[in-house]
Amino acid sequence: MRSWQQQYKLIRPLIIRLMSKRYLMLIGACTFILAIACDPRPEGYSNQAAMLETLDIGIQIGTDVSSEKPVIDLIWQSQTVSSGDNLSRLAQRAGISAQEVYLISRSEQGKSLRNLFPGEIIRFAINSSDGDLIEMQYEKSPLEIYLFTAQEKRFLSKKVIRQPEIITSYRKGKIDQSLYLAGKKAQLPDKTVMELANIFGWDIDFVFDIRAGDSFALLFEEQYIDGQHLGTGNILAASFTNRNKTYNAVRYKNSNGQTSYYTPEGLSMRKAFLRTPLDIFRISSGFNLRRKHPIHKKIKAHRGVDYAAPTGTPVYASGDGRVLEAGYSRANGNYIFIQHGQTYTTKYLHLSRKSVRTGQTVKQRQVIGKVGATGYATGPHLHYEFLVNGVHRNPRTVSLPKANPIPDSEKERFSETVTALFDQLAENQQADKLAMQSMDTQ
């Protein structure tokens, strides 16, 4: 027979386990009673509510309690709009019912779906259990999205406009063959190269004055959203060196919200007349410097300038004025004469077509016709003449009216705004110069 000490050793672990459970249960019961007795909640707060709170705590700490609202498993389908597509066809491909399409079209933003364009995206979120449409997203562009959400027997809709992130970028280029090709080499999009030419188009004749070795540098906006590059925005500051003369320009928005480009001294880049009344970008993209001097691009002494360009190239009014005459003659072909005030007259000859009529008022850079080869012409070109008080002047060298300065009320604000941009442009140019010198010494 075992002694009582031996028996105690055998049953001791069991006693400890039993006492531990009873002890913990006793502590738990006492805590529950004290919590109810000392609870500062208002009268009428039931023990049932307290039990629900306990249940919530259990859910938060991972107790296996089923939710009243089961999670819906969504299946997303994306459709890209192709030529001839409409909402019904896209929905049919995604397995969406005609009734759901009808309800979407009847929603507040339903009219946005009437004209879909190729490349736009529509996404459908479908309930995997019953095939019902839960949500539809219409991405008109990365910045403009329409949301349609199912609620009972209708769809709620809203328009979401997203704001892109704007980053300031720097590019530079050196012209070898043409401005267009130099812009491409600098990884600039076409519209930015065109804007660069437009900014300096009042001072530089981009057909005749451009030479190999000319250079440019610019700060411009780039737009991103969710890390995706959307495109380029405005040119903020730019520098163009032509025949060793440097022109600088900066974009400035005045206190009235109007934007324009100015020199560092506050003179407007916009002048009364353009140096070249042609779509420079159209020419430069098709012709390089080595092809710039066919017979129709020579300067005709004291009479005007011939610009060789592809047929159909837009011709601009070089300044504001009134069409003095728009007609046809055997020598001039289709021609347009424009009177600019009492002093200046411009003439445009050999057009393939005219877009204005006699007596019509025109604005600077308004398209008045297209390049052609009508009249005495052996190839497509524009013959352009510039007259001052009835006397022919060389359009490329004639002195033009000075640019308007920035108003005195804007000078202080202008200085504060543009100084930082010019400094940033200069710093980038200096860094490039030092980098080139370092490469040359290696």
- For residue 411, the SS3 value is helix
Residues 74-161, CATH architecture: Roll (3.10)
Give the least confident one: 1-15, 76-90, 109-123, 203-217.
Answer: 1-15
pLDDT band at 380 (very low <50, low <70, confident <90, very high): very high
CA distance 115 to 313: 32
Interacting residues of 415 by C-beta distance below 8 A, sequence separation 6+: 266
How far is the CA of 111 from the CAs of 77, 103, 105, 140, 157, in angstroms? 22, 12, 7, 13, 11
Mind listing the pLDDT tens digit for each residue in 11-51?
555 444 544 444 445 445 544 444 444 444 444 433 333 33
Kindly calculate the radius of gyration of the chain based on its CA atoms and give it in whole angstroms: 38
CA distance 136 to 148: 5
Structure tokens at 133: 């449409």
DSSP string, 288-319: -GGGS-SGGGSEETTTEEEEE--TT-EEE-SS
Structure tokens at 391: 């006397």
pLDDT band at 374 (very low <50, low <70, confident <90, very high): very high
Mind listing the pLDDT tens digit for each residue in 314-367?
999 999 999 999 999 999 999 999 999 999 999 999 999 999 999 999 999 999
- Is pLDDT at 201 greater than 80 in this prediction? yes
> How many Cβ atoms from other residues are within 10 Å of residue 351's Cβ?
25
Structure tokens at 117: 């364009």
Amino acid at 136: M
Domain residue spans of the chain: 74-161, 164-271+404-421, 273-401
Residues 164-271+404-421, CATH architecture: Roll (3.10)
CA distance 100 to 370: 51
Amino acid at 23: Y
- Is pLDDT at 205 greater than 70 in this prediction? yes
Q: Is residue 232 within 8 Å of 223, Cβ to Cβ?
A: yes
Structure tokens at 146: 């329409």
| Nearest partner of 356 among 374, 369, 373, judged by Cα | 369
pLDDT of residue 24: 45
57 vs 86 pLDDT, higher one: 86
Asked whether the CA dihedral 371, 374, 376, 378 is positive or negative, the reply is positive
Q: Is residue 279 within 8 Å of 311, Cβ to Cβ?
A: no
Mind listing the pLDDT tens digit for each residue in 89-141?
999 999 999 999 999 999 999 999 999 999 999 999 999 888 899 999 999 98
| Nearest partner of 233 among 167, 291, 180, 289, judged by Cα | 167
CA distance 176 to 213: 6
Amino acid at 365: R
Give the least confident one: 164-168, 326-330, 388-392, 396-400.
Answer: 396-400
pLDDT of residue 10: 52
294 vs 389 pLDDT, higher one: 389
Interacting residues of 403 by C-beta distance below 8 A, sequence separation 6+: 202, 263, 267, 268, 269, 270, 271
CA distance 185 to 174: 9
**What pTM was estimated for this model as a whole?**
0.68
Identical fold for domains 74-161 and 273-401, yes or no, is: no
Mind listing the pLDDT tens digit for each residue in 170-187?
999 999 988 889 999 999
| Class for the domain spanning 273-401 | mainly beta
For helices 87-94 and 98-105, the axis angle rounded to 10 degrees is 140
Strand partners, 151: 154
